[in-house]
Structure 1
């Protein structure tokens, strides 16, 4: 009779070793319009797809918009922790440093991301808008935008 309580732990995700572009899979995704909050449709009414680096950029945008630990559907490594900055009462330089750290940690979880650089910050009272450049292991790049309310 088979054991009802197996001891063996099965990892459903394959392990990715190394950081070379040949070892990391880029897949496809549904194209999403973040401004309207809806999927992009083709003229035939089908949901439009995007592939490779465009799908990776869609993942980056979504990860930066999602609060970490809030949704059970995501792993504990997915998303950002910008809300924690409110309780730290840091000055602008400290907040900018933490925004860089949190954004980099959020995006570098994905093995397709090789770098997060070139941050710029714009402050309006207690709101900080930032942009950064993300680079994939294939050499492609894109610009990410974000906003953090500090006060």
Structure 2
């Protein structure tokens, strides 16, 4: 029977230092449900079941949800999950500083997942006090995807 509390370096089936729990440091992508963010509801199949996605699509769903979820708000998520864009409102930062903070917060939020390799480049567009941004996220398999977000600064 395997040890329930293995010590690093002990023969536990995973290499010492491996954080993703898979052999040889390969990251498992898994599967997820599809969500329509414009409608605010899960995507359903013609038979009425919730549509699923796997591998890179599941990772992309995780990324989209992460940049739309406020950190520390929901007890169901760990303290590492989500972003902190609302903290920008009371800080009265310049537009350049807000953009820098969006880059930092978004990168930090997305890099908590071992499937994410890189985040960036970013592009910004301002409409009054609302900053719209786009960024590119790359997973460990080299697959890239663009994501959109927005932040209100006052």
What TM-score bracket applies, with the shorter chain setting the length? 0.7 to 0.9
2:58 paired with 1:55: yes
**Deviation sequence 1:49-82 (CA, Å, 0-9, x none):** 1000000000000000000001111000000000
64, 67, 73: which one aligns with 2:67: 64
2:145 paired with 1:142: yes
RMSD (Å), alpha carbons = 2.0
Which position in structure 2 is the counterpart of 1:31? 34
Q: Which whole-Å CA distance do the structure 2 matches of 1:17 and 1:75 have between them? A: 16
Aligned residues: 138
Which position in structure 1 is the counterpart of 2:111? 108
TM-score (norm 1): 0.86
Q: Which whole-Å CA distance do the structure 1 matches of 2:41 and 2:108 have between them? A: 27
**Deviation sequence 1:5-60 (CA, Å, 0-9, x none):** xxx8xxxxx96259x99521100111111111111111111111100000000000
Q: Which whole-Å CA distance do the structure 2 matches of 1:30 and 1:97 have between them? A: 32
Q: Which whole-Å CA distance do the structure 1 matches of 2:44 and 2:70 have between them? A: 27
Q: Give unmatched runs, 5+ long, in structure 1.
A: 1-7, 9-13
Q: Which whole-Å CA distance do the structure 1 matches of 2:74 and 2:35 have between them? A: 20
Which position in structure 2 is the counterpart of 1:121? 124
TM-score (norm 2): 0.84
2:84 paired with 1:91: no
Q: 8 Å contact 1:21–1:137 — kept in the other structure?
A: no
Q: Which whole-Å CA distance do the structure 1 matches of 2:97 and 2:49 have between them? A: 46
